[in-house]
């Protein structure tokens, strides 16, 4: 046991059991530990956690912090020594679940599901004018791992797809926009807007009245990024004014959404409790082991976060 670097797992026991077994089988040269108090602090090189735990400075030889999720906004990176690498979760399970959720939400909005649910409440039998997928333009804020995975599922339906990112991207079958200058043109061509941006100083409060005003009349929102990116009052005003037609929100600010919040009972809003996508231990452990192998052989890790950029 002695001499081996330690991977310290700071999460629930059920996921820990999957990680322990996989480390023993596939990466025996790295010791697995799941007790923050008893792990040998001088041997801990890798830490997997959702938030930065207290007394981190006792792990003097820590090299990599792995986020349990795809987002890293929950980390206070100022509490991490500058030399420690931060890696977000990039794994097949999380991508598959996001594909399902975004496909479900986009199809529901495309086929007027929230409006039919509202009609059902009033016992109204009335068809709404149908629109073909080829006429429903879907646009993604963020063109990263999860947005690209979701677009792959949506493409066969025939929706015209576009995305907006910080830096220029080129993706087959997707109209790519980038930067502040190209945001208005991207929004003007988007009927269903899917937010898959990371939460950073630049994206906090990004979904605001001005942004909604640039979307076409009747556009709808799917928000699967982070709650603080959305100005909930601006959304409610835009829905009540009839400019936006509906919203599917998987993330809110705060979480849980407090009882009595006007979003809860709004007839044009569908809310799920931050369940769009969840890290799957069986596939996540493979991604982490692969990254530790990469790190130990000097190759770049998948999902390495640019700490200055915040994602
Ligand atoms: P990535 O890091 O792969 O992609 C992020 C994308 O956002 C990139 O295309 C990036 O641009 C773009 N971006 C970042 N900042 C800006 C900006 N200021 N202006 C324009 N574009 C910007 O992230 P993932 O796809 O893996 O995940 C995205 C987010 O999804 C996570 O951070 C998390 O918050 C959320 N998430 C939500 C879940 C849920 O259950 N609701 C589950 C998992 C994740 P560029 O390409 O130029 O770098
Ligand atoms: C994540 C999440 O970031 O679950 O993985 O939101």
Q: At what angle do helices 92-110 and 113-121 cross, to 10 degrees?
A: 60
Is the predicted pLDDT of residue 302 greater than 50, yes or no? yes
* pLDDT tens digits for range 11-63: 999 999 999 999 999 999 999 999 999 999 999 999 999 999 999 999 999 99
What is the distance of C-alpha 223 from the center of its chain? 10
Ligand 2 centre distance from Cα of residue 2 (Å): 34
Other Cβ atoms closer than 10 A to 198 = 21
Partners of 175 in beta bridges: 162
Residue 201 burial by Cβ neighbours in a 10 Å radius (0-12, 13-18, 19+): exposed
Ligand nearest the Cα atom of residue 50: 2
Residue range 275-304: average pLDDT?
97
> Hey, which of 50, 69, 139, 142 would you mutate to test ligand 1's pocket, going by the most ligand atoms within 8 Å of its Cβ?
142
CB 266 within 8 A of CB 295: no
CB 272 within 8 A of CB 98: no
* pLDDT tens digits for range 82-118: 999 999 999 999 999 999 999 999 999 999 999 999 9
To the query of whether residue 111 is one of the catalytic residues in this protein, the response is no
**Can you read off the two tokens belonging to residue 214?**
């640039």
Q: 102 in ligand 1 pocket by Cβ < 6 Å?
A: no
To the query of whether residue 178 is one of the catalytic residues in this protein, the response is no
Q: 146 in ligand 2 pocket by Cβ < 6 Å?
A: no
When pLDDT is cut at 50, 70 and 90, the band that residue 76 belongs to is confident
Strand 44-49 with 6-10, pairing: parallel
Q: 70 in ligand 2 pocket by Cβ < 6 Å?
A: yes
Partners of 219 in beta bridges: 244
Is the predicted pLDDT of residue 1 greater than 80, yes or no? no
Q: 5 in ligand 2 pocket by Cβ < 6 Å?
A: no
* Catalytic residue (one of 45, 226, 266, 295): 226
CA distances from 220 to 113, 162, 183, 190 (A): 12, 15, 17, 9
pLDDT of residue 3: 87
* Catalytic residue (one of 274, 293, 294, 296): 274
d(CA 19, CA 289): 9
CA distances from 81 to 77, 137, 231 (A): 8, 44, 33
CB 86 within 8 A of CB 77: yes
Q: 64 in ligand 1 pocket by Cβ < 6 Å?
A: no
* pLDDT tens digits for range 160-178: 999 999 999 999 999 999 9
Scanning 77-139, the segments in alpha helix (DSSP H) are 92-110, 113-121
Ligand 1 centre distance from Cα of residue 177 (Å): 15
* pLDDT tens digits for range 185-223: 999 999 999 999 999 999 999 999 999 999 999 999 999
CB 115 within 8 A of CB 137: no
* pLDDT tens digits for range 226-253: 999 999 999 999 999 999 999 999 999 9
Is the predicted pLDDT of residue 146 greater than 80, yes or no? yes
Q: Is 215 helix (H, G, I), strand (E, B) or coil?
A: coil
């Amino acid at each position: 046991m002695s001499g081996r670097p330690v991977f310290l797992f700071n999460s629930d026991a059920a996921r820990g059991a999957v990680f322990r077994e996989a480390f023993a089988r596939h990466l025996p040269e790295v010791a697995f530990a799941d007790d923050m108090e008893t792990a040998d602090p001088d041997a801990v090189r890798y830490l997997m956690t959702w938030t930065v735990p207290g007394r981190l400075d006792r792990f003097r030889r820590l090299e990599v912090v792995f986020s349990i999720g795809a987002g890293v906004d929950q980390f206070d990176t100022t509490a991490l020594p500058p030399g420690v690498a931060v890696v977000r979760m990039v794994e097949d399970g999380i991508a598959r679940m996001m594909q399902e959720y975004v496909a479900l939400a986009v199809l529901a909005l495309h086929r007027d599901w929230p409006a039919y649910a509202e009609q059902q409440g009033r016992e109204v039998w009335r068809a709404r004018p149908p629109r073909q997928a080829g006429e429903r333009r879907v646009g993604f804020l963020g063109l990263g791992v999860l947005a690209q995975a979701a677009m792959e599922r949506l493409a066969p339906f025939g929706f015209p797809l576009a995305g907006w990112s910080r830096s220029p991207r080129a993706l087959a079958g997707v109209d790519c926009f980038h930067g502040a200058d190209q945001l208005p043109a991207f929004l003007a061509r988007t009927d269903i807007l899917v937010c898959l941006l990371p939460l950073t100083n630049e994206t906090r409060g990004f979904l605001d009245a001005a942004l909604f005003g640039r979307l076409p009349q009747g556009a709808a929102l799917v928000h699967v990024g982070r709650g603080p990116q959305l100005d909930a009052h601006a959304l409610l005003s835009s829905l009540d004014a009839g400019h936006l037609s509906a919203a599917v929100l998987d993330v809110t600010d705060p979480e849980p959404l407090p009882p009595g919040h006007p979003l809860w009972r709004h007839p044009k809003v569908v809310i799920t409790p931050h369940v769009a996508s969840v890290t799957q231990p069986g596939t996540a452990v493979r991604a982490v082991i692969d990254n530790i192998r990469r790190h130990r052989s000097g190759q770049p890790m998948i999902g390495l976060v640019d700490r200055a950029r915040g994602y």
